[in-house]
A and B are shown apart, each in its own frame.
Chain A
Amino acid sequence: MSKLQKYLDFLIEKYEVETKGILSDDGKKVSVDGKEYPLLPWRNERRFIELKKICETTVGEISHFKIMSVNSKSISLSDVIKKEIDLVEYIGASKITKVFEAKNGETCSIICETEKGWVATLELACSLPSKTKTVDKHEIITDRGTACDRGVDSQTPLYSTYVYGGEEKTFTDVDFELYGLTAEEISVVRQAFEITKNGKIGEENIQSDARLEKLLNCIEKSEKTCEDVRV
Chain B
Amino acid sequence: MERIKIAMMSMTHGHTRKYYDVLKNNPKLEWIAVSTENEEVKKIFKNSVEGIPCYDSDEEMLDKHPEIEAVVIASANSRHYEQMKLLAERKIDILSMKIPTFDMEEYEKIEKLVKDNGIICQIELECHYNPVTVRFKELVKSGKMGKIYSFNARNTTLSPVWAFPWQGVPELSYGKRVKIKEGFGKFRGGALCDHPHIFDMIREVTESEFDYVFARVAPNIRHDIEEEDMLSVVGKMKNGVVFSLDPSWSNMEERLKVPGPGWEKYPKRMEVYMTANCEKGSVVTDLFGPNVYHNGAPNDRYTVQYTYFDEWVGLVDEFVENVRLRRTPKINLEWHKKTVEVMNAIYESISTGRPVKL
Contacts and interface: CB of A to CB of B under 8 A. Distances in A.
A180 to B, nearest CB: 9
24 contacts: A46-B307, A47-B290, A47-B291, A47-B292, A50-B292, A50-B305, A54-B296, A54-B305, A146-B294, A146-B295, A148-B294, A149-B293, A159-B290, A160-B285, A160-B289, A160-B290, A161-B285, A164-B281, A166-B280, A166-B281, A173-B132, A175-B131, A177-B313, A179-B131
Contacts of B310: 175-176
A219 B305 CA distance: 33
A58 interface: yes
Contacts of B294: 54, 58-59, 145-148
B131 A162 contact: no
Interface string A3-28: 00000000000111000000000000
Interface residues of B, number: 40
Nearest to A151: B293
Given A47-B307, A54-B294, A173-B131, 9 more contacts: A158-B289, A161-B139, A162-B285, A163-B284, A164-B281, A174-B131, A174-B308, A176-B311, A177-B314
A164 B293 contact: no
Interface in B236-290: 261, 278, 280-287, 289-290
Contacts of A144: 296-297, 300
Nearest to B276: A163
Interface string A55-68: 00111100000000
Interface string B150-186: 0000000000000000000000000000000000000
A158 B292 CA distance: 11
Nearest to B308: A174
Interface string B17-37: 000000001010000000000
Contact of B139 (A16, A58, A163, A166): A163
Contacts of B55: none
Given A46-B308, A175-B310, A148 B293 contact: yes
Interface string A137-177: 00000101111111110000111111111100001111111
B296 A60 contact: yes
A112 interface: no
Contacts of B296: 54, 58-60, 142, 144-145, 147
Contacts of B149: none
Interface in B290-331: 290-297, 300, 302, 305-308, 310-311, 313-314
A218 interface: no
A176 B129 contact: yes
A174 B307 contact: yes
Contacts of B308: 46, 174
B322 to A, nearest CB: 17
Contacts of A172: 290
B130 interface: yes
A148 B292 contact: yes
A57 B297 contact: yes
B347 interface: no
Nearest to A51: B292
A220 to B, nearest CB: 31
Nearest to A177: B313
Nearest to B301: A145
B136 interface: yes
Nearest to A147: B294
